[in-house]
Amino acid sequence: MGNKFVPEVTSVLRQDIVKVPEVIKDASGIRVFGKRIKSILFSTDIAIIYNTNADAVIAVYPFTPHPGITKSIIEAANIPVFSGVGGGLTQGQRSVYMSLFAESQGSLGVVLNGPTPIETVQAVCKVVDIPVISTVTSIYTELDEKLAAGVKMINISAGKETANTVRHFRAKYPDLPIIATGGPTEELIRETIEAGANAITYTPPTNGQLFSKKMEKYRETEKERYESEH
């Protein structure tokens, strides 16, 4: 059978949502508690998170994790959230408490940064009943201990080397669920999927970039209306 027709339901007010690249649909996806996830929005902007067609959100940020941020994102999102709980500057008991809080608020999983010490990984894995995701930044990241401690997925973010890093870890761990950054073009996203990524994180345009396009549209409309009236 050919591709099935998929009816689409939307509204005038929701037509400008942030859509992830279509190529991400080619990924196998990762089934978490029965939910199949292929596209993951990389954002902490609540307005963008509320207006996207991504399957999930990965909410990690370059600051100390705080319950107020986690709570706000989960409450605003209408899709599953993977919450950052530290692991770099924030370690030990604070990461454990943040993980418990994220789970109690409804996070689908928690994300630990690459430098997270094994002791913190072990402590977090012992207390939560949601997947613990470990961030990987290069082929040199040591994973065996973390996987043995209970890490269920990895999130590869290796810049220009992401596809090669995915390929490296896929060969080493054939059945490991892998999330990876896809890059700015469909070609790079496809390469990352073909390298073995099961799900792709997508960085959306900023609020300012989206507003700039909308304001340009408003200006064009005003000009056209003025010219038609005069």
CA dihedral over 10, 19, 186, 82, signed as positive or negative: negative
- Nearest-5° angle of CA 152, CA 54, CA 129? 30
Q: Which residues have a Cβ under 8 Å from the Cβ of 118 and sit 6 or more positions away?
A: 145, 146, 149
Which ranges of 78-185 does DSSP label H, i.e. alpha helix?
92-105, 118-127, 144-149, 162-172
| pLDDT tens per residue across span 23-53 | 999 999 999 999 999 999 999 999 999 999 9
Coil/strand/helix, residue 194: helix
Confidence band, pLDDT 50/70/90 cuts, at residue 178 = very high
Q: Which residue has the tokens 């608020």?
A: 105
Domain boundaries, the chain: 16-229
Q: Which is nearest to 141 in space by CA: 178, 108, 107?
A: 178
User: What's the pTM?
Assistant: 0.89
Q: Which residues have a Cβ under 8 Å from the Cβ of 199 and sit 6 or more positions away?
A: 27, 29, 30, 37, 38, 39, 40, 55, 177, 178, 179, 180
Q: Are 34 and 133 in contact (CB under 8 A)?
A: no
Q: At what angle do helices 92-105 and 67-76 cross, to 10 degrees?
A: 20
Q: Are 121 and 149 in contact (CB under 8 A)?
A: yes
Q: Which residue has the tokens 């609020």?
A: 207
| pLDDT tens per residue across span 135-149 | 999 999 999 999 999
> Which is more confidently placed, 14 or 135?
135
Q: Are 23 and 190 in contact (CB under 8 A)?
A: yes
> Which is more confidently placed, 62 or 146?
146
Task: For residue 153, give the H/E element and its range.
Answer: strand 153-156
pLDDT at 227 over 80: no
What's 230's DSSP letter? Answer: -
Q: Which CATH number fits domain 16-229: 3.40.50.720, 3.40.50.300, 3.20.20.60, 3.30.70.890?
A: 3.20.20.60
